[in-house]
Amino acid sequence: MSLPTTPLGALLAILIMALITYLTRSGGVLIMSRVPIGPRMERFINAMSGSVLVAVIMPTAVEGDWGARLALVATLVAMLLTRKPLIAIAAGILSAALWRALVG
Amino acid sequence: MASPSSTGARLDIAGTLLGMRRMAPMALFVIAFGLAFGVAAAQRGLSDVETLLMSALVFAGASQFAVLEIWGPEIPLVALIATTFAINARHLLMGAALYPWLQHLPTRQRYASLVVLSDSNWAMAADDFRRGERNVGMLVGGGLALWLAWLIGTLIGVIFGSGITDPERYGLDVIMGCFLLSMLVGGARQLSILIPWSVAALSAFVALRWLPANSHVIVGALAGGLAGLWLPAKGTRNTRRAS
């Protein structure tokens, strides 16, 4: 099942995202007012929220060109060194641009 | 969970304005992230209005970037829902941590405050709560400041981004991947989290190769989450840094 990328389809996709995001924002308080979130559920959610980022990045790492792969490596290294996302992202963009300008 | 020295909570204009002011330095950075999102969305073919609407209504950077990755000629519905939910599921824990505080607000104020719940204002509000502050203005005001900055940044990005015709040349196509990776690394608190992440990477890879298109998101998220169940128990909800 998928939505067409027409103005209406895109609007619907955005509204669905907004609704789900609000459910996550309000859900924690709503659930806690009935049953407390246990440590097992907390571990599952913690691991899942990082894992989905890993999964989303995978296609770039697997199917991207070497410029894109280098960008990910540069971001990782810069992030580990500086802990500053903006610097890390800039390093990634710069690496991809340089690689493509110099190597092709 | 920390025990507050006072019970009760209230929401007022003065506290909200103070929250906005305390968030101002962080909000400047958020403008830059919003700019990156605006550029990325424009390159992905979203119209200016769609991009701004997404930032205004969703207001959750990582999930917005991630959805761009699956935004093509068609938008796969299950992957859209799963991606948005899985990335934003951390809000469930953040909200739960604030429950002992917010339960003292009238119901409508409580659920209205949560509209702008985000990583940075949550971290600062959770700190206020631990120190016994009754005013929840940091949560609401800080959230409003972040929301405004995110929207302004997106607007600048949209204006700037639609003028670029050759994004690969400038490396702009990698913004999404780099943003998500930096969020991932920045959110890592303990080395053991690498175990579920490796499981997620491996299963996402398998899904990418042999399972239907876009299933890698759900497969990776669930596999990583399940692997997380075997990790040693350690509460992280009070130690998360603003990101």
Given a cut of 80, whether residue B240 has pLDDT beyond it is: no
Band the pLDDT of B90: cuts 50, 70, 90. Answer: confident
- What is the reported pLDDT for B212? 83
A103 in contact with B, Cβ within 8 Å: no
Element (H, E) at B75: strand B74-76
Separation in Å, CA of A41 to nearest CA in chain B:
8
Q: Higher confidence at residue A16 or residue A52? A: A16
Contacts of B197 in chain A (CB under 8 A): 50-51, 54
Sign of the C-alpha dihedral computed for residues B38, B43, B47 and B48 taken in this order = positive
Band the pLDDT of B83: cuts 50, 70, 90. Answer: very high
Shortest CB distance from B193 goes to which of A50, A58, A83? A50
At B226, list the tokens: 């399940």
- pLDDT digits over B127-166, tens only? 888 888 999 999 999 999 999 999 999 999 999 887 777 7
Range of lowest pLDDT (B57-71, B187-201, B223-237): B223-237
**Which own/partner contact pairs does A73-76 have at CB distance under 8 Å and 24+ positions apart?**
A75/B177, A75/B178, A75/B181, A75/B182, A75/B185, A76/B181, A76/B185
Query: In this structure, are residues B171 and A67 in contact, taking their beta carbons and an 8 Å threshold?
Result: yes
Q: Where are the domains of chain A?
A: 1-37, 52-104
Band the pLDDT of B236: cuts 50, 70, 90. Answer: very low
DSSP string, B125-151: HHHHHHTT--BTHHHHHHHHHHHHHHH
- What is the reported pLDDT for B233? 62
Report residue B14 CA to chain centroid gap.
26
Q: Which of residues 27-46 of A touch B (CB under 8 A)?
A: 27-33, 36-37, 39-40, 42-46
Per the listing, tokens 């979203």 go with B46
The pLDDT of A5-32, averaged and rounded, is 95
8 Å CB contact of B169 and A93: no
Given a cut of 60, whether residue B2 has pLDDT beyond it is: no
Given a cut of 70, whether residue A70 has pLDDT beyond it is: yes
- What is the reported pLDDT for B234? 57
For residue A3, what are the β-bridge partners? Answer: B75
Q: Rounded to whole angstroms, how far apart are CA atoms A76 and B48?
A: 31
Chain A residue with CA closest to B32: the answer is A86
The pLDDT of B108-122, averaged and rounded, is 94
Range of lowest pLDDT (A66-80, B1-15, B104-118, B218-232): B1-15
Q: Where are the domains of chain B?
A: 13-186, 190-243
Q: What percent of chain B has pLDDT over 90?
A: 60
**Which own/partner contact pairs does B142-145 have at CB distance under 8 Å and 24+ positions apart?**
B142/B19, B142/B20, B142/B22, B142/B23, B142/B116, B143/B19, B143/B113, B143/B115, B143/B116, B143/B117, B143/B118, B144/B16, B144/B19, B144/B20, B144/B116, B145/B19, B145/B20, B145/B23, B145/B24, B145/B26, B145/B27, B145/B121
